[in-house]
A and B are shown apart, each in its own frame.
Chain A
Amino acid sequence: MAKITSTQVKHIAKLAHLEIDNRQSVAFKKAFRETLQVIDNLQSVKVEGAEPTHQVTGLENIWRDDEVDESSMLSQKEALRNAKNVYQGYFVVPRLIDQDE
């Protein structure tokens, strides 16, 4: 079974864009181990020849006509209504590049 360290837990949190404190990194390490212990039984199953199932309906290649459905369109006002930070009809987003400058 893969062994999870606190460093790994912190790295995974960073990948998932989550901030965790020391209490959480300790608690999550324990929870990770508990979970991995349970799911490790998958390694004992003979899966040779089995194709993976990603969806169960059997549906394939679903198309629809490229038509505008005005009934599902939002006005600018409706689209912006739930945003915390807007400016002149735009969503304001946090700066993602050159954060150090």
Chain B
Amino acid sequence: MNDLTTLTLADTIQALRDKKFSLSELLSSYRSVIEKHNQKLNILLTTTLDNHPEQLDSPLAGSPLVVKDNISTKNIQTTAASTVLDGYRPPFDATIIHRLYQAGASIIGKSNLDAWAHGSSTETSQYGRTLNPRNPDYLPGGSSGGSAAAVAANMCAAAIGTETAGSIRQPAAWCGVVGLKPSYGRVSRFGVIAMASSTDSPGPITKTVEDAAILLNFIAGHDHHDSTTSSQSAPDFTTNINQSIKNLRVGILYQGIKGLEIVDPHLQKVGQVLESLGAQVDSVSAMDPKLAISVYTVVQRGEVSSNLARMDGVRFGNDRSYFGDEAKRRIMLGTYTLSKGYADQYYNTAQKVRTLFIEDFKKLFKKFDVLISPTSPSFAKKVGATADAAMFGELEDMLLEPSSITGLPGINVPCYQDKKTHLFLGLNIVAPMWREDLVIKVADAYEKATSWNEWRNKA
């Protein structure tokens, strides 16, 4: 009965509690989906389907989850999709893993990603690229491509990804699922293999907006192991489900800029849907997102060169000769832009432009409660698209980078599916710092007013 794997996380929890099926029946359903499709699609690098106890009394009731392979799992291989860490079995759990276990999750697999999360395609994984389950001629996006593909392929009830600039929302858009990037500092980074420490944000990738709110409830909140986490207590995010968005002020960003010809008409339609739900929708202009590409590139490469300096193969992993080309290139660019004589020209200037983006958003949020834009300029790209494109990811993630470098929360919800290719377009909703409640509320209202979400239609 493979239909069990198409249940949303919310329905899975309910059905387990109501004893409509047992956890072992559910796990064997997932096992058969994984055995059937994983070899071809290369979504999961490790599977851990065995030895999960029944946990009906816990909040997640044993629900099977997949987590990105840059998140430390005790005694379970964690590679960040780089052979530098081949065979590495962390001696501890990341804080978010610990919290998910406490909530009663069964972690059934570790998902593929761009090596060290460097990329937007999963093509830079040193364990081979992941294919898009919607259409295997296309890429799933990245860097959390494996997590988004696992959800789209019904290999788990929900997944966890990490985003530095687009790495949750962009693969969610390309795979036609929901991806929520929390505010920077909302979710602990402890045990997440660091990419760019000042923007890394772990978050849920799920079948529905409600599922994302459910998972965020368990992973959000202060962690004494990560001093950048906010000490404010996290609210119950599920209270924003099924709420009215009447009179909410919505600003549409980036209308009419070059390269968005394919998505623009669909975003117009999103605006009409939100208006029909009572929101006040207006176009608004913002700082040029091309500058955010530059800020992100400089900051990310700099932080990468510092973070990956610790990979020396002494205490764990292999030596530095195992780094792939993409990682080497990024470490070296960061080394260059941080070096004497160039730090001012690049790094310090980038951090100042970052301030200008924060001020620009502050101004925009005086007039609007949330801002919307396409998630990605177009549909998923074909397999092989990243060859010889040093800036592939940065250009693909242009519309997300302004909110990433400023730490804002954002969500992707599917807003169109092409009948012929089965590929999706995504809507990105951004709110002020710590206002995940607003992105969830608007995304949930939009999802329920349209028919793009196949899992919700089923329910």
A interface list, Cβ under 8 A from B: 2, 4, 8-9, 12-13, 15-20, 24, 27-28, 30-32, 34-35, 38-43, 45, 47, 50-57, 59, 62, 64, 72, 74, 78-79, 81-85, 91-94
* B348 proximity list for chain A (CB < 8 A): 52
Instruction: Indicate if the CB atoms of A12 and B332 lie closer than 8 Å.
Output: yes
Known: A27-B325, A43-B349. A82 touches B88 (CB 8 A): yes
Task: Summarize A's interface: helix, strand, loop or mixed.
Answer: loop
CA–CA, A92 to B332, complex, Å?
27
Q: Is B140 engaged at the interface, CB distance under 8 Å to the other chain?
A: no
Q: Which of A34, A38, A78 contacts B294 (CB 8 A)?
A: A38
Instruction: Indicate if the CB atoms of B328 and A50 lie closer than 8 Å.
Output: no
Known: A31-B329, A45-B353, A93-B314. A54 touches B198 (CB 8 A): yes
Size category, B interface: 35 or more
**Least Cβ–Cβ distance between A17 and chain B, in angstroms:** 6
CA–CA, A16 to B353, complex, Å?
27
Q: Which of A9, A32, A41, A82 contacts B315 (CB 8 A)?
A: A82
* B88 proximity list for chain A (CB < 8 A): 82
Residue in A closest to B331 when the chains form the complex, CB atoms: A16
Instruction: Indicate if the CB atoms of A82 and B317 lie closer than 8 Å.
Output: yes
Q: Is B390 engaged at the interface, CB distance under 8 Å to the other chain?
A: yes
CA–CA, A68 to B318, complex, Å?
31
**Least Cβ–Cβ distance between B299 and chain A, in angstroms:** 9
Given A12-B332, A19-B321, A57-B407, output 13 extra A-B contacts at Cβ < 8 Å: A13-B332, A16-B331, A16-B332, A19-B320, A35-B333, A42-B350, A45-B291, A52-B354, A53-B352, A53-B355, A64-B224, A82-B317, A83-B316
Q: Is B228 engaged at the interface, CB distance under 8 Å to the other chain?
A: yes
Instruction: Indicate if the CB atoms of A39 and B298 lie closer than 8 Å.
Output: yes
Known: A55-B228, A74-B92, A82-B315. A42 touches B406 (CB 8 A): no
Task: Give the residues from 381 to 426 in chain B that come closer than 8 angstroms, CB to CB, to chain A.
Answer: 390-391, 394, 406-407
* Interface locus among B156-164, B242-250, B257-265, B339-347: B339-347
Q: Is B113 engaged at the interface, CB distance under 8 Å to the other chain?
A: no
* B230 proximity list for chain A (CB < 8 A): 57, 59
* B345 proximity list for chain A (CB < 8 A): 43
